[in-house]
Amino acid sequence: EVQLVESGGGLVKPGGSLRLSCAASGFAFSSCSMNWVRQAPGKGLEWVSSISASGTYVYYADSLKGRITISRDNAKSSLFLQMNSLGVEDTAVYYCARDKYSNPAMGVDVWGQGTTVTVSS
Amino acid sequence: DIQLTQSPSFLSASVGDRVTLTCRASQGIGTYLAWYQQKPGKAPKLLIYSASTLQGGVPSRFSGSASGTEFTLTISSLQPEDFATYYCQQLNSYPLTFGGGTKVEVK
């Protein structure tokens, strides 16, 4: 079964850091470009970051650039998102998601269940 | 950055209705557009990619079309399981962006 399972979310104080992880299974992870998408409570979807299959190319949302780093470990079929200098506006459910056919132009066809990040003092 | 404007934001409809949702891009994106359905507490689900190609397993009552920078998602006969929020996403260039969503509610 194709599956993405996120972890690492939780409660963090403003200014803190968090590292999200996504464990992939059931498909050739090393061949797939991947994404992080978030959704603040009661709000719409917001694209956060993307990474190519090899990890060579990375892309970030302007609002988060400089505070986040996307990475992957293909040997362990894992995707990561390091988030620093967190603010209350970063409170959201963070989804790990796979590009269809490893082609970013095709949309995202597999999503994890999400991990919740809450930034509060 | 490319902005996507979805309309309407809310739509009240009844089972059996034909509904049309619109997504307008701030500049040309070709057919690099996807549509997703999201139900409360769940991850989004890919419905349509490349503006008009139906994702495998998605009912044929869903269809997508494009005309210039305007894209539409049509549900030909609304079913009870279709009440949800729908999002478009442009995949033409980074940063990727989503529209604000259209919530389809029971009339």
Contact (CB<8Å) A111/B44? yes
Q: Rounded to the nearest 5°, which phi and psi values hold at A102?
A: 55, 30
Q: Quick one: pLDDT at residue B4?
A: 98
A84 touches B at CB < 8 Å: no
Q: Quick one: pLDDT at residue B56?
A: 96
C-beta neighbour count of A110 within 10 angstroms? 19
Amino acid code (one letter) for A121? S
B82 vs A77: CA distance, rounded Å: 34
Q: Quick one: pLDDT at residue B66?
A: 97
What is the tens place of the pLDDT at every residue in B19-32? 999 999 999 999 99
Q: Tell me which chain A residue has its CA closest to the CA of residue B40.
A: A42
Q: Quick one: pLDDT at residue A43?
A: 98
Mean pLDDT of chain B: 97
Contact (CB<8Å) B96/A50? yes
What is the tens place of the pLDDT at every residue in B45-61? 999 999 999 999 999 99
User: C-alpha B51: how far from its chain's center?
Assistant: 9
Contact (CB<8Å) B43/A46? no
What is the tens place of the pLDDT at every residue in B61-82? 999 999 999 999 999 999 999 9
A58 touches B at CB < 8 Å: no
B89, B79 Cβ separation under 8 angstroms: no
Q: Which of A106, A113, A115, A116 to mutate to test the interface with B (most CBs of B within 10 A)?
A: A106
User: C-alpha B86: how far from its chain's center?
Assistant: 5
What's the pLDDT band for B44 if we cut at 50, 70, 90? very high
Q: Give average pLDDT by consecutive 10-residue segment, chain A, 121 residues.
A: 98 98 97 97 98 97 95 98 97 96 89 98 96
Give A66's contacts (C-beta < 8 A, 6+ positions apart).
Answer: none
User: C-alpha B83: how far from its chain's center?
Assistant: 13
